[in-house]
Amino acid sequence: MRFLVRFCLAAFVLLSLITVHYALFTPVTHAAGEFGTTYKVEYDVDETGKTQVTQQIVLKNKTSNYYADKFELKIGSTKVENVKAQDATGPLETEAKFENNLTTISVKFNQKVIGIEKTLPWTLTYTSGELASKSGQIWEVSIPRLARSADITDYSAAVSTPISFGQIAFAVPSPLTSEKVGIRQSFTFGKDQLVESGIAISFGEKQVFSFTLNYHLENNNLTSQMREIALPPDNNYQKIVIQKLDPAPRDVIVDKDNNFLALYKLSSHQKIDVTATGFVEVFSRPFRNIYSPLGQSDRELYTTKQKYWETDSAFIKKKAQELKNPQAIYNFVTTYLSYNEDRLKQTRVERKGAAAAAASPNDAICTEFTDLFIAIARAAGIPAREVEGYAYTQNERLRPLSLALFPGDVLHAWPEYWDDKLGWVQVDPTWGSTSGGLDYFKKLDFNHITFVQRGVSSQTPYPAGSYKRSGDLGKDIAIEFAQDLPTPSVIPELSLSAPQKIISGIPVSVIARLENAGNTSIFGKSLTLTSYTLRRITDIAKPQPTDNSVEIALLPPYAKRSFQFRLTNPAIFGSSNDTLTLSYAGTQIALPVSAFPIYNLIFLKSFLVSMLITVLIIAAGLILYKKTARSRKKYHL
């Protein structure tokens, strides 16, 4: 009895920053477990990114009832060239077709594997220019998680690249072996690693983008109004340099979610267009932690229910109890939801929210992946919030962008969760799902640029690209690769406002003003006002000298801050000459002041003149009063 058996390799995906190779083999029902296969796969990438793929396959028959005479390989979303196969007897007949965005490779065996424990070693090779690519300054080769199959007895993968690709930025998981031979470097991985997670290797030191963002503001009210725009913020994954904001804002404030909000005052019926230009350096993992630890009130804030994050949903609460940690939640969301690219064809793409996503798992886009992760994490007591921004991709089927900001800008959404050691950690379950299992949990990539972070509210602030007036056409977001980040400049500008003469024992107000006139943020510096004789009202007993310090966690470019200090000379009958010194981030200014006892007032010309004027005013008042009184008396008589 003869059965036609089609075999499968495990599903695997090769993708780069720009292109993707996705291979999926579907086993015939009768073949499950009847054959064992071992695979040794090599990916040799040349200087241009063209890759030679060699699959050495050994087919072993476990029964006496089945044999295989044909092999079929289906490759989605890419084309291959130079397809060849052979066994010990010579070349095998192959056929490759590309239809409906799918490549199918069929291989007909020359000999049949008949009899228990019989084996057939054979080799399949092909080339592709879509397996490795360079984006900006980063080369990347990626092999997602290997699908589990009873037919696979062993599987190994080796990746070989030119040394000219540069140093390794990251390799996940850690290679079993790595070596450099001549002008090549190679890395090997085993079956267990490929089942647990995909392989992602990036080469290069950094990724830098330049950006030009346009914002369109309008005030339709009869009175002046303040408007704000969200600028790309500094966080654990990116470093921002803002070259110019035109026009300059009144101020740039930092909200609870560490967003940079530039403030503009618009008069009645005024319209203004704001252009922000600058650079961002992107990192695949947290390269710093700029966040203060979350207190209990903050943890409650970032685990509460909000619109789109329905933590009270029965399904979400159940999953939160089962999953409990971010890795488990990520794994669930990437496998439970399926991306529906047909939704992107709609005129307006609706954000459904976590509960609706859970109810319709086959109708998800990036917002549903993000919202479901956040809702389950919050229900499990894990602080979580949303990130919206720009994500660079050249294969929108496997790394799609879903947030269409008509008429032309498209953004991406992904979640982040709180880690007590690392701060806010970004993950991307959407791309983890659509890429066939690439790991976007242990690392991100060099292509995610944050525009806004939303946790206090699930809807605001709005990211760049959302500030459009009715009738505005064209794109408001322009992102390009750049070679280097401009040299960050730290230019704090300080000013002091205080009386030059101070009466001892009487409090005075000192105003300290600070502005960041540089192009990059200043982190964790204190603004300090120093005096040898003057004290804060609450610090009268402190020994000299006194420092009045204010910790400023973050000061973005264009930000302005002012602080009031209430000072006095505690020696009521003392006099002194002093200097107020204001310092911040290596910059300081000084203002001389003098204090004198209150009884010295009588010796001051200004005091004497004031007293004389006061006496004259009182005397004139008395005279006028007497005249008025006489006039009233005559009238009554």
pLDDT tens figures, 66-116:
777 887 777 655 678 999 999 999 999 999 888 765 678 899 999 887 888
Sign of the four-CA dihedral 457, 459, 465, 471 = negative
Q: 313-363: per-residue pLDDT in tens?
A: 999 999 999 998 999 999 999 999 999 988 887 767 889 999 999 999 999
Q: Considering the domain boundaries, does residue 224 fall inside one?
A: no
What is the reported pLDDT for 599? 62
Residue 495: which of 593, 569, 558, 584 has the closest Cα? 584
How does residue 27 score in pLDDT terms, banded at 50, 70 and 90? very low
pLDDT of residue 364: 95
Worst-scoring range by mean pLDDT, 229-243, 273-287, 364-378, 534-548?
A: 534-548
**pLDDT value of position 45:** 93
- Full-model pTM: 0.83
Report the CATH number that the domain containing residue 154 is assigned in CATH.
Answer: 2.60.40
Do 72 and 164 sit in the same domain of this protein? yes
Q: Within this chain, do residues 619 and 588 fall inside the same structural domain, yes or no?
A: no
Judgement on whether residues 34 and 169 belong to the same structural domain of the protein: yes
Domain end marker among 157, 182, 203: 203
Residue 597 tokens read as 């006892």
Are 515 and 552 in the same domain? yes
Please state the rounded mean pLDDT for residues 44-58. 92
Residue 167 and residue 88 share a domain: yes
For 241, other C-beta atoms within 10 Å of its C-beta total 22
Tell me the per-residue pLDDT of 549-597, one tens digit each, with 9 for 90 and over. Answer: 899 999 999 999 999 988 887 777 667 788 899 999 999 999 998 877 7
CATH number of residue 501's parent domain: 2.60.40.10
**pLDDT beyond 80 at 148:** no
Closest by CA to 550, choosing from 533, 564, 532, is 564
Query: Is residue 133 located within the same domain as residue 168?
Result: yes
| Better pLDDT: 67 or 306 | 306
Is residue 24 domain-resident? yes
E strand or H helix at 127, and its extent? strand 119-128
pLDDT digits (tens, 9 = 90+) for 407-439: 678 899 999 999 999 999 999 999 998 887 788
User: Do 596 and 617 sit in the same domain of this protein?
Assistant: no
Q: How many domains, in total, are found in the chain?
A: 3
The DSSP annotation for 375-395 comes to HHHHHTT--EEEEEEEE--S-
In a domain, 254, yes or no: no
- Tell me: do 67 and 194 sit in the same domain: yes
Amino acid identity of 261? L
State the CB neighbour count (10 A cutoff) for residue 358.
25
Asked whether residue 86 is assigned to any structural domain, the reply reads yes
Question: In whole angstroms, what is the distance from residue 632 CA to residue 637 CA?
Answer: 9
Residues 6+ apart with CB under 8 A from 576: 532, 533, 569, 594, 595
**Per-residue model confidence (pLDDT) at position 98:** 80
The pLDDT of 379-396, averaged and rounded, is 92
Judge if 632 and 532 occupy the same domain: no
Does 227 map to a domain? Answer: no
Whether 395 maps to a domain, the answer reads no
- Round to whole Å and give the CA distance between 447 and 208: 9
Is the pLDDT at 611 greater than 60, yes or no?
yes
Mean pLDDT of 441-448: 92
Asked if the model's pLDDT at residue 240 lies above 80, the reply is yes
pLDDT, averaged across the chain: 85
Higher pLDDT, 5 or 469: 469
CA distances from 215 to 190, 269, 272, 408, 464 (A): 50, 17, 8, 14, 7
Note whether 42 and 130 are same-domain residues: yes
Could you tell me if residue 56 is inside a domain?
yes
* CA-CA-CA-CA torsion sign (480, 485, 486, 492): positive
575 and 496 part of one domain: yes
Q: End of a domain among 158, 173, 203?
A: 203
Is the Cα torsion angle 569, 571, 573, 574 positive or negative in sign? negative
Residue 23, pLDDT > 50, answer no
pLDDT(167) > 80: yes
User: Under a CB-based contact definition with an 8 Å cutoff, are residues 213 and 276 in contact?
Assistant: yes
Residue 164 has pLDDT above 70, yes or no: yes
Domain that holds residue 566: 492-600
- Predicted pLDDT at 602: 54
Q: Are residues 631 and 565 in the same domain?
A: no
